[in-house]
Structure 1
C-alpha cells in the first residue's frame, strides 16, 4: 500500500499497551530528540528504517486463524470479553502494509525534512534505497512522499535503488545458510508464560482447546487487528477487542518473547555466533559514506552497485535505507549497540535489560547516524535509535566534550573492527564446509 498525499496527522497512542507488543509495536520516540551540541553542526545523516505496520506473515497467520476458528466454534462463552467473537469476521491480509503503516513512513519522511531540511537542496536530495520486499518498497515510497509534502513539494527525492532479496542485499538477512534460529529459546519462554493464559482463555471459551502457540498468536492479533483497523483520518484509534482478552502482565510476557526472539535470532545470542555478522555489509557501507571512500566489504554487499557512483553516491548529505527488523538487529549487533552484561534468560526476564524489541525495531523504527563538524575542527558521530541517543561506550571517551553519545569520527571508525574485518572469520562460518572425501 502506498499513500499518495494525505494530511500529516498527529499520532495518539495508549503507549502503556501498545509498546508491549514487541516487534509489532508502533513507532514512538523513546526519548525526546536532542539536537547537536553547541559548537557542532550537522554535515551528514544516515537513516536505516524498518517498514511500517503490516498484516501478519503467512506463517504467523496459520496459528492466528486456527485460534479464531476454535474460539468461534464453541457453543457458549463463559466470559463477556469473548462475546464479540459471535459476529467477528477475520479479514486480515498477508504481509502487506496496512494504512496506518503507510502513514508511519509518510510521517517519518516529513519529520526528516523538518529536522534536517537545511542539509538538502535541488542538487543534493536524499539518496533512498530499499530491500525489494513489497512492504519495504512501499514504505520507502511513502517516506519520500512525506519528505516531499513537508517541503511543499520543493524537494522530491526518488527511490533510487531497490536491492533484490534474491541476491546480495545489505538490507535483508538471508545470506548466512549456517545461521540458526531462536526457536529453542522462545519455546522455553512460551512454555513458562503461556499455559496460565491458555487455561484462562479455554475456561472462557469451553471446548476451544487452544494451544500455547495459538494463545501467543491471539496476543499478536491484538496488535495486528488494531493496526489494520486504524483509520489514518482518526486522531485516536481504538484497540482491537482481542486486546481485552489479556492483562498487562500477559502483554509484558509476550513482549519479552520478542526480546528473546531477536536476541537469539540475529542478535548477540544467535546460535553459533552468526547473528551480528549478517549486519556487517551495511556497516561497511555506512563507513564508506561517513568517510566518503569506496566500500570495502567481502560479505553481503552488491559490489557492482556499490562501485557505481550513480547507485552508491558518496557525496550526499542524507541517506535513507529501508529494511526489516531482523536485519536491523544484526546491524545493531555489528555496530556494538545494545550489548548486555549477560545473555538474556529464557526463564526470568531481567528488569534492567536495555534489549527491548519495542524500543529497538518497532514498526517504522529507525536508526539515525549523524555526522557532525565541531568548532575544534574535528568530525564526530552520534547514533540515535527511535530518537534515543545511544551511549557509544565503545568509542565515546574522545567525544565527551561534545556530550554523551558522541565519538570522534576516527574513533568510531576504529571501533568498527568487526565489520572492517568482514566479521572476524564469522562470515566464512556462514557457509557449509564441503567434504570431498569419499
Structure 2
C-alpha cells in the first residue's frame, strides 16, 4: 500500500492557506457564481434541488453509508484535447511571445492583463491534484467521519479506488481526513487498473468494457455534437473578441482555450483574468458543452448507460440487502473514481428522466432547464452518498445525497413520514422499474454486453 508522507500540521497549514475560497463560496450565495458553472471543471458546491433536510430522520437510525467519490481539483490532464496541458501551455507561450498578436493600442482592450500576466499551468504538473484538490478530499473525509461516526466501528476499512494516480492520491487524502495518523493501520486499498483486467466494475467502467472501449461506441456522436454546439455559440464570442488582435483571425480553438485557461487558473490560484472575457451566458453555454458530452458518452443519452452504470448499482444493492444478514457487519463502503464514471451510475439510478437516447439534449440551442448539469452533479470532489436507515417501523429506507444535498427520489414512494423526504423503503427502492435491471442483474448485463473479463477482485460498494 502506498502511503502519504505528510503531517497533520502540514494539512492544517495548507487548509489555512486556501480557506478564503470557502468564505468566497458563502459570499456568492443567491448570485451567479462563475466557478459553479464550469461543467466538470467547477469547484465543489452543493446542487440546488428541493431544500430537503439532510439531517438524520428523528425516528430512524443510520445503518450503512456508501460513498462514490470523484477525485479533487487537478491540473490539466494529458489526454483532454484542447484542454490538455500541452495545448494550454502552447497557448500561454503564444500569448507571451506575441504569435497571438494583441493590439494594446485599443482602449480598454480586455486582453491588456497579458502585459503583467504570469502563467500558472506547468507541464510538469500534468494530471496531478492541485493543492486545493488535496484539501478538498481531506476535508471530505473529515466531514464523512464526523457525520457517520457511529458506523466507524471496524478495525480496518476497504478503500476501492481506480488506479490512476490522482484518484489514488485523493483516496489517501480522504482517508487521512477520516483517520489521521492512524490511516496506515485503518485502511486496506484495492486498486482497480483502468483497463479491462479488473472485469466488471464501475470505477473504470469504460475501459473494463472491451466492446464499448475498442469499438469507440458513442465517440462519433460526442464529437459531432461537440462540433455542432461549438459552432452554435462560439462565433458570437469570436466576433466580440477578434477586434482586439492585430491582423489575426481568431479561431474557435483559440476561444475554447481561453475558457479552459479561465477554468484551470481558477482551480490553481482562485482567480483568472481570462474569465473576464466572458459574460454569464457565455459561461452557461460553455457548461452546456460538458453536459452534452457527458450525456452522450455513457450518460442518459447513450443506449449503453444502464450497462456501464450497472455493476456499481448491483454491488450497492447487494450491500444494502446484506443488512438482513446479521453476520455481515460492514457499515461503511468507500469508492473513488472519475466524473465520467459517476454520471452513468446516477443515470442508471434514474436521476435524469428527462434525457434519454430517444430524447437527447439538443445541440442547436441551450434549453437551460434540464436535469443533468455536470456542474452540480460531478464538480471537482463531487460525490454520490447512499444512506441506509432503519426506522421505528423496523423497515429499512434508502436515501441519496449528491454533494451533501438530498436528491429527491420520486419513483419508489416515501419514507416513514409519508411525505416527499427523499427516502424510499429498501424493497421498493430495489424493485422500482427505474433501476430493477441494475439492482438485480447489473453485473450480468455488463458482462454479457461488454464481453468483460472475469472479475479478479471482490468489491463491495
User: Secondary structure, in 3 states, of the residue corresponding to 1:292?
Assistant: helix
Report the CA distance between 1:331 and its aligned residue.
Answer: 0.8
Note the C-alpha offset of 1:372: 0.3
Q: Secondary structure at the match of 1:47?
A: strand
Cα separation, 2, equivalents of 1:147 and 1:426: 33
Do the aligned partners of residues 68 and 409 (structure 1) sit closer, same or farther apart at CA in structure 2, a change above 3 Å counting? same
What residue in structure 2 maps to residue 118 of structure 1?
150
2:86 paired with 1:56: no
TM alignment of 1:382-393, pairs within 5 A: 382-393=399-410
**Which ranges in structure 1 are unaligned for 5 or more consecutive residues?**
230-236, 295-312, 433-438
CA deviation after TM superposition for structure 1 residue 136, in Å: 0.2
Per the TM alignment, residue 429 of structure 1 is displaced from its structure 2 partner at its CA by 4.4
Q: What is the aligned partner in structure 2 of residue 76 from structure 1?
A: 103
**Counterpart contact for 1:67–1:210, Cα < 8 Å:** no
Q: Report what 1:333 is aligned to.
A: 347
1:356 aligns with 2:356: no
Deviations 1:49-104 (A, max 9, x none): 10001111123224433443443421633444312323434533311101001111
Shift in Å, 1:404: 2.1
* Residue pair 1:26, 1:362 contacting (<8 A) in 2 also: yes
Indicate yes or no: 2:315 matched with 1:285: yes
* Counterpart-to-counterpart distance in 2, 1:353 and 1:389: 18
Distance (Å, rounded) in 2 between the aligned partners of 1:426 and 1:320: 21
Find the counterpart in structure 2 of residue 29 from structure 1: 46
Residue 382 of structure 1: SS of its match in structure 2?
strand
Aligned equivalents of 1:379 and 1:110: distance in 2?
26
TM-score, normalised via structure 2 length: 0.79
Contact 2:396 2:426 in 1 (8 A): yes
Matched, 1:243 2:275: yes
How far the C-alpha of 1:126 sits from its partner, in A, is 4.1
Structure-1 residue corresponding to 2:89:
65
Secondary structure in 1 matching 2:394: coil
Residue by residue over 1:179-233, the C-alpha shift from the partner in whole angstroms, topping out at 9 and shown as x without a partner, is 212222122111111112123232223344332133122212211112112xxxx
Contact 1:54 1:101 in 2 (8 A): yes
The answer for the alignment partner of 2:329 in structure 1 is 315
TM-score by length of 1: 0.83
Distance in 1 between the 2:226 and 2:72 partners?
24
Q: Structure 2 matches for 1:14-413, cutoff 5 A?
A: 14=25, 16-30=33-47, 34-58=54-78, 59=81, 60-61=83-84, 62-72=86-96, 73=98, 74=101, 76-77=103-104, 78=106, 79-87=108-116, 88-89=118-119, 91-92=121-122, 93-121=125-153, 123-149=154-180, 157-166=186-195, 167-168=197-198, 169-173=201-205, 174=207, 175=209, 176-177=212-213, 178=215, 179-181=217-219, 182-229=222-269, 237=270, 239-270=271-302, 273-292=303-322, 315-340=329-354, 342-397=359-414, 401=418, 403-413=420-430
Distance of 1:39 and 1:81 partners within structure 2: 57
Write the distance in 2 (CA, Å) between the matches of 1:277 and 1:200: 44
Query: How far off is 1:34 after superposition?
Result: 1.2
Q: Check 1:4–1:130 CA distance in 2 against 1; reply closer, same or farther (3 A cut).
A: farther
> What's the offset of the Cα at 1:4?
4.3
- Mapped to 2, the partners of 1:155 and 1:118 lie a distance apart of 21
In 2: Cα distance, 1:99 partner to 1:361 partner: 19
How far apart in 2 are the matches of 1:103 and 1:374? 35
| 1:291 Cα offset (Å) | 1.4
Question: What secondary structure does 2:442 align onto?
Answer: coil
> 1: CA distance between counterparts of 2:7 and 2:252?
41
Task: Give the Cα–Cα distance (whole angstroms) in 1 for the partners of residues 289 and 328 of structure 2.
Answer: 40
Q: Do the aligned residues in 1 keep the contact of 2:299 with 2:343 (CA within 8 Å)? A: yes
Q: Write out per-residue CA displacement over residues 360-387 of structure 1, whole angstroms, 9 at most, x where no aligned residue.
A: 0000000000000000010110011112
Aligned partner of residue 193 in structure 1, secondary structure = helix
Query: Are residues 430 and 184 of structure 1, via their aligned partners in 2, closer, same or farther at CA, if it must alter by over 3 Å?
Result: farther
Measure the CA separation in 1 of the matches of 2:103 and 2:328: 64
Contact kept in structure 1, 2:61 and 2:389, CA below 8 Å: yes
Moved over 6 A (4+): none
Counterpart contact for 1:392–1:407, Cα < 8 Å: yes
**Contact in 2 for aligned 1:130/1:171 (Cα 8 Å):** yes
Using a 3 Å threshold, how does the CA distance of structure 1 residues 48 and 75 change in structure 2: closer, same or farther? closer
Q: Which residue of 2 aligns with 1:300?
A: none
Let me know the Cα RMSD of the aligned residues. 2.8
Q: 1:425 Cα deviation (Å)?
A: 5.7
Give the Cα separation in 2 of the matches to 1:427 and 1:195.
44
1:288 and 1:314 in contact (8 A); partners too: no
Query: CA offsets, 1:350-407, max 9 Å, x none?
Result: 2321211111000000000000000001011001111221222222357662652111
Q: Report the more deviating stretch, 5-14 or 419-428.
A: 419-428
Residue 55 of structure 1 aligns to a residue whose secondary structure is coil
